[in-house]
Amino acid sequence: MDDETRYEAVSSRDARFDGEFFFAVVTTGIYCRPSCPAVTPKRVNVRFFPSAAAAQAAGFRACRRCRPDAVPGSAEWNVRADLVGRAMRFIGDGVVDREGVGGLAQRLGYSARQVQRQLTAELGAGPVALARARRAHTARVLLQTTTLPVTELAFAAGFASIRQFNDTMREIYAGTPSELRAAAGRGGTARRTARAGAEGGLPAGGIPLRLAYRGPYAAAEIFDFLQVRAVPGVEEIRESRGGRTYRRTLRLARGSGIAEVDEPAGPRGRRRPPAGLVCPAARGADGGWLECRLRLTDLRDLSTAVQRMRRLFDLDADPYAVAERLGADPLLAPLVAERPGLRSPGAADAEELAVRTVLGGPPERAAALVRAYGKPLDVADGHLTHLFPAPAELTGAEVEEPVRTLCGALADGTIALDAGADRNSAERALAALPGVGPRAAAYIRMRALGDPDVGTRTEPEPGPRTEPEPRTDPEAGMAGGWRPWGAYALHHLWNAGLLPAGEMPGTAGLPAYAAAGRAG
């Protein structure tokens, strides 16, 4: 997009581009999301930025009306496998907060100077500024949803000092922390928190959050997908008249947590809209959010927990780009029209997903592993009783060989499945393990590493390339027509019954199933 196209998106308040870019108004000193409902400023007064951090670094403060820091993330980081894409996924997972810029650079295999230069060139801000914007957003959420003392809240958000915290909040939000909390109180948030009851300044039911997404969202399908795969003890789906709630335990860097996410309710509380009706909350054309609650033993894990739930529910996807590409295929076009906003679920814990995939079988098999090796919660919460065991806890001789071999490679760092892992290297290493193979490796790549371009190629190519080479067989044209959204094509085929649910294509790739579908 050029700046004139961006301005057209701003003029039409197009929510499809929320999180893809930001605009700032030089006469007011404020930056906004493209869908901001305020009066459209004159073009001469508008500046565009690729990230909120870049707008903040240029001296602009966040709009209080459209909350530009709360938009979905850019879908570009899900697709890209280069240095910048991997760095953004690492930063979102809290690596800079925990390990500093040096730790980020080491994980990427580049020097800190190279990482700084690449991020600044593409995003207008380096890793420190990007992490700072992330901390500020976390602090604002805590200010407006909890009654934590400001001092405790600042360190929970990841700030190194109270002075740094106060200066950052004034610079980004044009107000002191106390003023931001008071503004939320006038809106009723603080009063609702107090009525709900709090212990240590936290709401009794957990920190309430709204996880934003863009475009339509096929909520029923993603909840169905998670429900049939839920591992007892670690996950559960609670049914109620108002809909379903997905609940799970989280093993985090500094502690543990419990996350709850509500399925958007359809008309009259139904989970699925009746035929011919569209539920605005679940499939709204302009996006929406999922209600989430987090209970954490260490609040410094808040941002990381949020990002993991966003990846699990694929909330940073661009459904418009997916529909445009897949809707051009004769086989997939009616499937895309039938299920607008169908997502490709990721994983809340990449290592857990890898173990469950290699273990195979129904969820009860993984539940037995959890009971034997998982860490019990101090107090059971409903049917949630354990954390899924870490790889180092599954390397004993009594563990099945494929799982033991995988966990040994994860524990000693031979295979990395962290947020910014090199996807090609990880898939090749997984496929080479005994008892894993290419199909399981591709499934792990799709979900644990969040790769949207799975299923449109053959087995991974050898060598250190970060991008797969184009195919040269007769199916290459069809495969290329689905890139980079092969994972979404796979979910459409699963939901339509054209491919057995959960089955990954073999070396022929998804196009072979497309050909079979046309023949049938």
pLDDT digits (tens, 9 = 90+) for 287-327: 889 999 999 999 999 999 999 999 999 999 999 999 999 99
Handedness of CA 177, 181, 184, 189 (dihedral sign): positive
Q: Which two tokens stand for residue 296?
A: 């954490």
Backbone angles phi, psi at 240, to 5 degrees: -150, 175
The residue among 390, 391, 392, 387 whose CA lies nearest residue 375 is 387
The CATH code of the domain at 76-186 is: 1.10.10.60
Predicted local confidence at residue 200, as pLDDT: 56
Percent of the chain with pLDDT over 90: 70
pLDDT digits (tens, 9 = 90+) for 450-484: 999 887 554 434 444 343 333 333 244 344 578 89
Q: What is the pTM of this model?
A: 0.86
The CATH code of the domain at 3-70 is: 3.40.10.10
pLDDT digits (tens, 9 = 90+) for 4-46: 999 999 999 988 888 899 999 999 999 999 999 999 999 999 9
Handedness of CA 293, 298, 302, 306 (dihedral sign): negative
CA gap 90, 288 in Å, rounded: 25
Contact 517, 498 (CB under 8 A): yes
- For residues 283 and 147, the model is more confident at 147
Residue 47's beta-bridge partner residues? Answer: 24
Domain 207-312: which CATH number of 1.50.10, 3.30.420, 3.30.310, 2.60.120: 3.30.310
Contact 39, 70 (CB under 8 A): no
Q: Where are the domains of the chain?
A: 3-70, 76-186, 207-312, 350-375+393-519
